[in-house]
Amino acid sequence: MNEAPVGGRMLHLFNQTDPYPDNLPSNVSRPRYFSDSVYYHAASLLGLAVESHRVGYSTRNVIRTLGLSLNALRRMAGVDDRFAVVWQGYGVYAALANSIVSGKMPFILNTYKVPNTGSQTFKTRINDRLLGSAATAAAGVVVISKSQCCALMQYNPHVLWLPFAADSNWWTPALPDHAFLTAQGVAYRDYVLVMGDVYRDEETTLRAVSDLKRPILRVTRSPQTAAAAREAFRALGITCGDILVNVSFELLREIYRGARVVLVPARNNVYPAGMTSMTEAMSCGRPVVLPAGLTTEGYVKVGHDAFVLDTWEESAIRDQVTSAYDSEIGEVVGRNARNTVEERLNFRTSGAKLAGFIAELGLAGESMGKIEVGA
């Protein structure tokens, strides 16, 4: 455990572990991820030490969920007068319980979801009520969606919209390494790349580009999504292309670089789906086509650094992809996308914005002075 600096506090970071574990050796290069990197950078600007607590991951297993929540609560019980950042998940229940029982530990809630008060299943209704209570009890709330920032202010007046970012030092523009791609079984060039894991519109997206006589690569981490894509490939008779599952970070970077256009067919408006794929592609300087929604609002300018479609339907997708192939607009938008990343969608800028928020909440101990965005 890192000791907090004299006069300062320790920032405790409660994360879920990734449901797709990364078993690569420690000496293999890879990107950093938004959650840890942004909070560590914010802490460094405030002179705080950080201790990260990963509280595990579970899907639909009630016993394991309870176990993870109790484990997080046990860890929080010893936090004393320091504060924590709690990411949406099982740590939320523990933070709420700890706040009710002891009231000793202030926490910032980081959530990708707004509680829904409409018709729901019993389990979802309970989860959303707990999330709403945690948002109210928190010292502050952090979200990555501009719309959700406004919606959560009914629970807590201290809400920060913190734009999501990819690791722009890893995902960088460059000509693709075709020798490496071929060695990894990707022999296509100037392909359409379709990215994302769950809640993707496979059928509409693939039908829109299936008759353009362009190679199609479908890349995902989810075996279930890959299975749906294979079924769509068969139904549409797509033979020029491939479906890749859980590829290495190094290979994925070259796949982004080799794409003529990147489609991110996210269709879930409950949380900002597709944001990782969008920002990775933008960081690589590639033009992205995706539907309007929580993922795009406040992030991109339509037609400037991304192609944003109000309606995700075949003709609109096909026309936009065709335009990217037949003119220079795709490359222009790709260059603008990278500029947007360098200006405001990066860990450094987000970390500085978060540091200012923490200081305003009075959680950083002694006053650290004004934190400049971009510091």
For residue 26, how many other CB atoms are within 10 A of its CB? 5
Contacts of 95 (CB under 8 A, 6+ apart): 14, 72, 76, 84, 86, 105, 107, 109, 134, 137, 138
One-letter amino acid for residue 42 of the chain: A
The whole-model pTM stands at: 0.87
Fold (CATH) for 178-343: Rossmann fold (3.40.50)
Q: Which two tokens stand for residue 139?
A: 């010292």
Q: Is 114 exposed, middle or buried (0-12, 13-18, 19+ CB in 10 A)?
A: buried
DSSP 266: B
pLDDT tens by residue, 275-306: 999 999 999 999 999 999 989 999 999 999 99
SS3 category, 273: coil
Averaged over 6-19, what is the pLDDT?
61
SS3 category, 258: helix
**CATH tag, 10-165+346-360:** 3.40.50.2000
CA distance 357 to 120: 33
- The domain locations on the chain are 10-165+346-360, 178-343
pLDDT tens by residue, 319-375: 999 999 999 999 999 999 999 999 999 999 999 999 999 999 998 865 444 555 444
| Contact of 31 with 104, CB cutoff 8 Å | no
284-293: b or e for each residue (b if 16 or more CB lie within 10 Å)? bbbbbbbbeb
Amino acid 168: pLDDT: 95
- Which residue, 314, 357, 315, 307, is CA-closest to 332? 307
